[in-house]
Structures are given as C-alpha cells and as structure tokens.
A and B are shown apart, each in its own frame.
Chain A
Amino acid sequence: MERTSVTPHPDAALLRPIENPGRGFYYIVAILLAVIFYTMYIYVRQLKYGLGVTGMAQPVTWGFYIINFVFFIGISHAGTLISAILRLSNAEWRRPITRMAEVITAIVLAIGGLHPIIDLGRPDRVLHLFYNGRLQSPLLWDVCSITAYFTASTVYLYIPMIPDIAILRDRGVRPRWLYNFLSWGWQGTKRQHEVLDRAMNILMVMVIPIAVSVHTIISYIFAMTVQPGWHSTIFGPYFVVGAIFSGIAAILVVMIIFRKVFRLERYLKQIHFNYLGILLLIMSLIWFYFTFSEYLTAFYGHEPNEMRVFWYKFTGKFAPYFWGMVICNFVIPVALLSNRKTRTIPGILVASITVIIGMWLERLAIVVPSLANPRLPYPTGIYVPTHTEWMLFLWGVSVFALGYVLFARFFPVISVWEIEEGREESAHIVGERIKSYQPDMELHEPEEKASAEAAEPPPPDDEGGARDET
C-alpha cells in the first residue's frame, strides 16, 4: 500500500485540478469575492439602519433570513448523513460521491448557522447567549446541535481525507507545509488503516443521529410554539425528510457541475446518477406523503385558526408559492425521474434544480403564512422581501460557491484512495458478501475473520479483508 510519487498516477484526473489549477479558478474566485464584498456592504447597511431595511414587519416578523436558515441547514443534510448511510449500508457505488456530499455539509452548515445572527436585531449582543443563555429556548438547542453537527461533519470530512492529503504531500504539491500539516504522518501502514477505519466507523454511527437531531430541532423552533400551522407533531420528521430531499438534489447538481468542469466522466457514471435519481424520486414521494398528512389533518380537523392558514396557502395570497412548491417538489421530479427515458443526466439536473427551488418555497410556505395569519384580528399584509434580503441570499449562495471552489482547488473532490481501494478490492468483497447470503454457496473465509465479523456487526466493507495484502 505504499503510495509514493509514482507518475503518472492512475487517478491523475482527480489530482489535476490541484496540481494545475488553471486560470479559470482565479476568475471564478474574483467574481465570487466581488459579489461577497458587495453583499457584505449591504449587510453593513442593515447593521447601520436596523432591520427596517428588510421587508419584515408585524405580524410577519420572520422572513428571508429564517427561511434561508432552514433552507441552508436542510441542504447541509446532503452530505454527511447520506454519505454515512451509504457507507453503513456498504453501497459500493458510494466511493466517488461521499467526499462531494460531505463538503456540501461542512460549508453550507457554516453559512446556515450564521443566518440567525444576520436575523438578529442586535447582533452586537449575540454574546449574551454565553453568559445568559436559556437552554429552555429551542434556539439554544439549535446552537448546540448545529455546533455538534458542524464539528462532527468537519471531522467526518477530514478523517477519510487524510490518505488523500498524504498522496498530495508525497507528490510534492504546493503548498507543501499545508499537506504536511494535514496529513498527520500518514504512511498507509496496516496499523494506520485500522485506526482510520475504526474512527470512520465510530463517526458514521455518531453522525446519523446528530444529523437527524439538527433538522428535528430546527422544526422545533416552529413546532414548540402554539401557532396554527406550526404546532404539529409531524414537523420533526417532515423537516428531516425535506432536508434529505433537498440535500440529494444539491449533491446531484454539484456532481453534474464537477463532472462537466473537471471532466470526471470516468468516475461519475450514468449508474451513479441513476441510483441517486431513484433515491431523489423516493424522497419526493415520501415528501409528498408527509405534506399530504400534514395538510389533511389540518383540513379535516377544521380548527378555524388552522383553516385560515390553510386557505391562505391553498387559495389565498400564498397559493402561487404553495402550488409552485407542489409542482417543483412532486409533479416535475416524479414525472422526470419515474420515466427511464428522462432519468438521464440533463433530466436529473432539471429535477434537482426544481427540487431545490421547491424546497426553498416549502420553507417559505411554512414560515410566512402562519405568521401572516395571527389569531386575533390584525390587519395583515403580504410579506415582500427587499433588495437587502435578496442580496444576503445571494451572499449565502456565493459563499457556498467560493467555499466549494477553494476546497476543490486544494483537495480532491473525489476520494482517490477509496477509488483505488474499490478498484483493488471491492469486487472480491462484494463477491464474498454475496456468497455469505446465497443458499448453497460455501463460505470460503478464514476462521478468525468470520468470528471477528460476528463480534461487531454490521461489518462495513472497508474493514475486514481489505488490508490482507500488506
């Protein structure tokens, strides 16, 4: 398993963007930085004049910032959660996908986590949370769970990246000190692989409940109040499903972009898109099921305050957004993805983009209508976001793009060592696995290994016979 600077590397295509970034990288960074500086100026204006520069008012006291908070955190479920599930379920085709997914999580979480601070009337007092925070408030639960998820997903991104960083270090890629520092003395010995595998197993088991808790708790911000349209027991799982749904769509978009830009057709094949497309289709159906249950119970119960929110969404001022959400999240993706002829890469791209838009509309349709219809007779208006809010949305998107571009500049977006490992061993591992559950097939495994597997189920495939040859 010694990996020294052997050129040409079998996966040179994955290392090329790092070794020769090209001029395009600098153009993109310059454009994104310009956008980010402009949008930050807009935020400084908001700091100076107060939240009056937004479209928020009474009774719609939460607007774009909270919607984007929920939306971005939702996108962040792409990564770590899905990669952990794929790793745990021994899905061999995960190898080129996991890294890209995990990067989305780490970057988007940081952006999403900042949104409540953008939303504060007094961001200068945010430190009050430290000496006078109240753990009874769901906002504090969010602070805890998002911090936990951010650190856990960053660690979960970093640890499987160590062997790749070592490859870059050994090939003498600049900046050398960076790769030297981050590779933590990796040499690819058997002992090191064991340590890495064990850590990854612990992390992937740990990350799944944390990820589920994060979006459940975000739903609790709404569900813990007694407001009509929010006070619902289904909100936790409903938000988690929506988050995974939009997350898969985000992964697909990122995969399609990188496949095109970095010419990764060898790694990201039709089959990957097909599998993830089917997963997106399933999530779309589950999402529809949750939405249906949520609104049917409200409608059947016919509680007057609930019904005002209900009709506001179905036929009132919010109908275009609500039905737009249904079309984007259900009608278009199901139509495109259930047909094999349209489940192609362009078809999946269209479906993913509509799902991202649709999930954003869903957050809009959850946050605003409940606030816009207070129980007591107040004059209500429709919430119209201002330039400031649109620009800060753009800020979030550009910071995400910049973060991703910078990551892709310094680290491989596809895990080189996992691809290599798959090339060498997965056929053998999968063959053994099939033998283990097929009737009338002998299990050709050494005694001790079989007992080791029985001791700690389920055996992830990177373990076990993976390191026999060293």
Chain B
Amino acid sequence: MNNKTIFIIQVLSLSFIWVLFTGIAVWILNLIKVSLALKDAPDASVAISIVAIPVFFTLASVLTYVFIGLQRGRKE
C-alpha cells in the first residue's frame, strides 16, 4: 500500500473516532431530552452529562493533536 492510501485511512480512522464520540454525546443529549419530556429525573441526567461529554471530546482532541503534531513534525 502506498503512503497516500495509508494517510487517507489514518485520517478516516481519526474521523471515525470523532463520529463515535459525537454519537455518544448525541446519545446522552437525547437521553436528557427524553428525561425532560417525561419529567423523569432530568437533574441527575444533566449532572452526569456535564461530566461525561467533555471527557470524550478531550480524548478525541488529544488524539487529533498527536496526529497533526506528528505530521507537522516530520522532517521533509
């Protein structure tokens, strides 16, 4: 496989992680929406989401930072 294909797959896998984490965030927000609609402990849901969602996005950001950093740090 040539380097171009590899690079495209790398970018795709990284985007997949972003999609996955966005999916988790959407899922949690959806659960909050349902709990608000049904008045079923929305306070607990909001509290948990405040903790959970940033964790995932920090992780994805760290990965992206490393990927971009490594690409920029190559000697050419």
Contact = CB atoms under 8 A, between A and B. Distances in A.
A330 B64 CA distance: 45
B26 to A, nearest CB: 10
A203 B75 CA distance: 26
A131 interface: yes
B66 A130 contact: no
A273 B74 CA distance: 39
B19 interface: no
A70 B58 CA distance: 27
A336 to B, nearest CB: 39
A134 interface: yes
B6 A134 contact: no
B62 A202 contact: yes
Interface string B42-76: 00110011001001101100110111011111110
B48 to A, nearest CB: 5
Interface in A170-215: 177, 180-181, 184-187, 189-192, 194-196, 198-199, 202-203, 206, 210
A136 to B, nearest CB: 4
A185 B73 CA distance: 9
Contacts of A177: 1, 6
A162 interface: yes
B75 A189 contact: yes
Given A177-B1, A191-B72, A199 B66 contact: yes
A189 B59 contact: no
A204 to B, nearest CB: 11
Interface residues of A, number: 38
A361 interface: no
A132 interface: yes
Interface stretch (A141-149, A310-318, A403-411, A458-466): A141-149
A135 B1 CA distance: 45
Given A135-B48, A181-B9, A187 B74 contact: yes
A135 B41 contact: yes
Contacts of A307: none
Contacts of B34: 131-132
A22 interface: no
Contacts of A194: 69, 73
Nearest to B3: A180
A152 interface: yes
Nearest to A133: B31
A155 B48 CA distance: 23
Interface of A: 130-136, 140-141, 144-145, 147-148, 151-152, 155, 159, 162, 177, 180-181, 184-187, 189-192, 194-196, 198-199, 202-203, 206, 210
7 contacts: A134-B40, A135-B48, A144-B52, A159-B62, A192-B69, A199-B65, A199-B66
Sort A-B residue pairs by CB-CB distance and give the 6 closest, nearest first: A195-B69, A191-B73, A135-B45, A192-B73, A136-B41, A136-B44
